[in-house]
Amino acid sequence: MTTWTVGQVAELFGVTVRTLHHYDEIGLLVPSERSRAGYRLYTDGDLTRLQQVVVYRRLELPLDQIATLLDGGEDAADHLRRQRATVMTRLDELRELVSAIDRALEREMNDQPATTEDLKELFGDGFSDEYEQEAQQRWGESDAWKQSQSRTSRYTKADWEQVKAEMDAVNAAFVAALRSGEPATGQAAMDAAEQHRRHIHDRFYDLTHDFHRGLADMYVADPRFTKTYEDIAPGLAAYVHDAIHANADRAADQGADRGADRGADRGADRAT
């Protein structure tokens, strides 16, 4: 009959000699043979039992429960079926755990500020480190720049995806007005210009209508901005410029009308 020493068994099953000694002491796995010198010797039956012990331990069953299972009179096939059922249960638990970890990781990643790589992926040629550095040199000391940096430093990739979607919607409104033949002073064009101003105001920095005029002038003065709009639709840069100015004029007129109405109301109050 072939037998194995404790050292050979430990190496074969990836357990320690100390563990095998402990199993012997508690009666979980008692070697069936001894050498003439009294050393432990394991038989094929012992190895089969140890294999079952190792599987159950990997399933994190306590030793006393393993002993009960092994000494309950079940044959090897019954044990294998039990082990398989237990493993399948653990697999379901582990799949659920992996899914939970993935959901937590997704939430964690979504809460992280967007990286430069994220912005390049979203905006393509519309995002450039060179442009950003130039903008910082030109406006880095302005309140608008500081406010924009404070807001956008916390934006996640999901936030920037929403920003881009809003920008695309504004540009689509401009293009629709342009292609419909409506002048830049028309209602739809001015509404698109106001949508453009509100987008910047809400997402980046406080933007008055007068400040908006300055941006419009830059869109036609700087060839890079002009090209951005012309690539969307020919003639769009000048159209956006004119629509922004028209919208600012409309806002000024409405402000004057409101001021006149308030003055008339005060006069009426005094008369009464």
Considering only the C-alpha atoms of the chain, give the largest distance between any 2 of them, rounded to a whole number of Å.
126
Encoding tokens for residue 185?
């002073």
Cα–Cα distance for residue pair 139/146, rounded to 1 Å:
9
Quote the CA–CA distance of 127 and 59 in Å, as a whole number.
52
Backbone angles phi, psi at 159, to 5 degrees: -60, -45
Q: Which pLDDT value is given to residue 272?
A: 44
Burial of 52 (C-beta count, 10 Å sphere; 0-12/13-18/19+): buried
Q: pLDDT tens, 79-113?
A: 677 778 877 877 777 787 777 766 666 655 555 56
What was the pLDDT predicted at 265?
Answer: 53
- For residues 46 and 28, the answer to whether their CB atoms sit within 8 Å is no
What local confidence, expressed as pLDDT, does residue 30 receive? 95
- Dihedral angle computed from the Cα positions of residues 106, 109, 114 and 118, in that order, rounded to the nearest 10 degrees: -60
Closest CA to 155 of 133, 127, 197: 127
* Cβ neighbours, 10 Å, residue 244: 27
**What is the signed CA dihedral for 101, 107, 111, 112, rounded to 10 degrees?**
40
Low-confidence ranges of the chain (pLDDT < 70): 1, 73-76, 79, 101-141, 256-272
Q: CA–CA separation, 145 vs 271, rounded Å?
A: 49
CB 79 within 8 A of CB 70: yes
DSSP secondary structure code for residue 114 in this structure: P
Distances (CA, A) of 19 to 3, 13, 63, 149: 19, 11, 12, 60
Q: What is the pTM of this model?
A: 0.52
- Reduced to 3 states (helix: H, G, I; strand: E, B; else coil), residue 205 is coil
